[in-house]
Amino acid sequence: MDPASSPHHVVVVGAGFGGLEATRNLTGAPVRITIIDRRNHHLFQPLLYQVATTSLATSEIAWPIRQLLRNREDVTTLLGTVTGVDPAGKRVLMEDGEAIPYDTLVLATGARHAYFGHDEWEPYAPGLKTLEDATTIRRRILMAFEKAERETDPERRRARLTFVIIGGGPTGVELAGTIAELAHDTLPREFRNIDTREARVVLIEAGERVLSAFVPAQSAYAKSALEKLGVEVELGRAVSECNAQGVVYGGQHLPAKTIIWAAGVAASPAAEWLGASADRAGRVMVEPDLTVAGHPEIFVIGDTAHVTTPEGKPVPGVAPAAKQQGWHIAATIKARLKGGSSVRPFRYKNDGNLATIGKRAAVIDFGWIKLNGRIAWWLWGLAHIYFLIGLRNRLSVALSWLWIYTTGQRSARLITQGSAQTPAKPK
């Protein structure tokens, strides 16, 4: 912590996949690092939908950032909210008024779901980016069945048992498949007035196919796997309205009390902080070495950066891309500190695409091989357990999945509220 002994101060904002990987790969470099996040935990977002659908507990996919970095004496972890950057003064501005000076700045602040000019839809169609989002969606899904059980009007009961997922990317597909399994495998026999198997799960995608990052044949496979689970897949229809009664899509009104938004994300306000040029989703247009034009000391990575492949295609907003970028800029920082000045452009290596549909099917595209079905599902599961951090969570998630796979029972079916109740009044 003595500034004289390690003068170069790297500030990393955001402890997601990108920020954490950058920090890790600066191990041994002659720097001191401050990593700032407004959450105390790193979140394994690829499995967040499993918390929302009662398969996993919150603590199985989240780790305290301090704990992950506790052996790194060169790293200080700060829980706090960044509200801006002063590029001229080289300072990060915090909500509480503090200003943290940096020599090198890494902005890895991620993205939030976005409603493309329809923020008024949010109360009716929550999105899925944080643990709180996941427990909110979990509560809504479970409460829908509870309310349907006590509803006597058949039409209103039908609306309670209709689940709409907007967006046919991996998150939308995974949510739709798991909600269908919840209704068909987990919940039947528990209710006395409703048959949960009558629940409708409707996946609405504005484009012509689901999982558009995959080849058309795999999209078609995913669609048919969803339909086998009982999901209704509606393609080529955009949603024009979400409200308390349901959704309007393709001009048609569907009464539905539970709507989940998996359609769009917008970058964090990093571009605004920097006054940098951004794409339509708010992502910073970075240089080939992931720095900001005119500021070689500022890197932007992950979901908040707009990066293109040498072929001109956008690098997808997925965990492996963020990690590769974190690794890349750590190497750049280390090379610079050794006196190097060459600008190495970032090159995205597509290690493959994976998406799962329920507990039996998945699609995998490794480029050289494409797999659909049960073997793909097992590979998907092994890959995700491998990418979890630490033996503890690997064992725990493996146990949870084994249980669901063999019994159909999900362990995290809790309806919890945010605030504590008022105490009882003693006499």
Q: Is residue 122 part of the contact set for its own copies (CB under 8 A)?
A: yes
Residue 117 to residue 422: CA distance in whole angstroms: 38
Q: Is 45 helix (H, G, I), strand (E, B) or coil?
A: helix
Considering only residues 375 through 394, tell me which ones interact with its own copies, judged by CB under 8 A: 392-393
Q: What is the dihedral of CA 23, 26, 31, 33, to 10 degrees?
A: 10
Residue 37 to residue 50: CA distance in whole angstroms: 23
Contacts of residue 308, Cβ cutoff 8 Å, sequence gap at least 6 = 314, 315
Which range in 77-85, 222-230, 235-243, 348-356 contacts its own copies by CB under 8 A? 77-85
Q: Is residue 132 part of the contact set for its own copies (CB under 8 A)?
A: yes
Residue 317 identity (one-letter amino acid): G
Token pair 């991996």 is found at 170
Q: Is residue 338 part of the contact set for its own copies (CB under 8 A)?
A: no
Q: Is residue 265 part of the contact set for its own copies (CB under 8 A)?
A: yes
Q: Check: CB of residue 262 under 8 Å from CB of residue 165.
A: yes
Q: Clarify whether 174 is annotated catalytic.
A: yes
Judged by beta carbon, residue 67 or residue 350, the one nearer its own copies is 67
Judged by beta carbon, residue 113 or residue 209, the one nearer its own copies is 113
Judged by beta carbon, residue 295 or residue 413, the one nearer its own copies is 413
Which range in 15-23, 169-177, 239-247, 280-288 contacts its own copies by CB under 8 A? 280-288
Q: Is residue 79 part of the contact set for its own copies (CB under 8 A)?
A: yes
First to last CA, the chain: 56
Angle at 240 between CA 238 and CA 244, to 5 degrees: 125
Residue 367 to residue 218: CA distance in whole angstroms: 13
Which range in 160-168, 190-198, 340-348, 350-358 contacts its own copies by CB under 8 A? 190-198
Catalytic residue among 174, 181, 205, 234: 174
Q: Is residue 114 part of the contact set for its own copies (CB under 8 A)?
A: yes
Q: C-beta of 245: minimal distance to its own copies in Å? A: 20
Out of 115, 327, 387, 401, the residue judged to bind its own copies by CB under 8 A: 115
Considering only residues 23 through 52, tell me which ones interact with its own copies, judged by CB under 8 A: 39-41
Beta bridge partners, 252, equal 249
Q: Is residue 401 part of the contact set for its own copies (CB under 8 A)?
A: no
Which range in 74-82, 83-91, 205-213, 237-245 contacts its own copies by CB under 8 A? 74-82
Residue 74 to residue 149: CA distance in whole angstroms: 56
Q: Check: CB of residue 61 under 8 Å from CB of residue 17.
A: no
Q: Is residue 190 part of the contact set for its own copies (CB under 8 A)?
A: yes
Residue 235 phi/psi, 5° resolution? Answer: -105, 155
Out of 172, 264, 302, 358, the residue judged to bind its own copies by CB under 8 A: 264
Residue 170, both tokens:
């991996």
Considering only residues 297 through 336, tell me which ones interact with its own copies, judged by CB under 8 A: none
DSSP-assigned letters across all residues of 69-81:
TTT-TTEEEEE--
Q: Is residue 135 part of the contact set for its own copies (CB under 8 A)?
A: yes
Out of 58, 243, 245, 350, the residue judged to bind its own copies by CB under 8 A: 58
Active site residues: 174
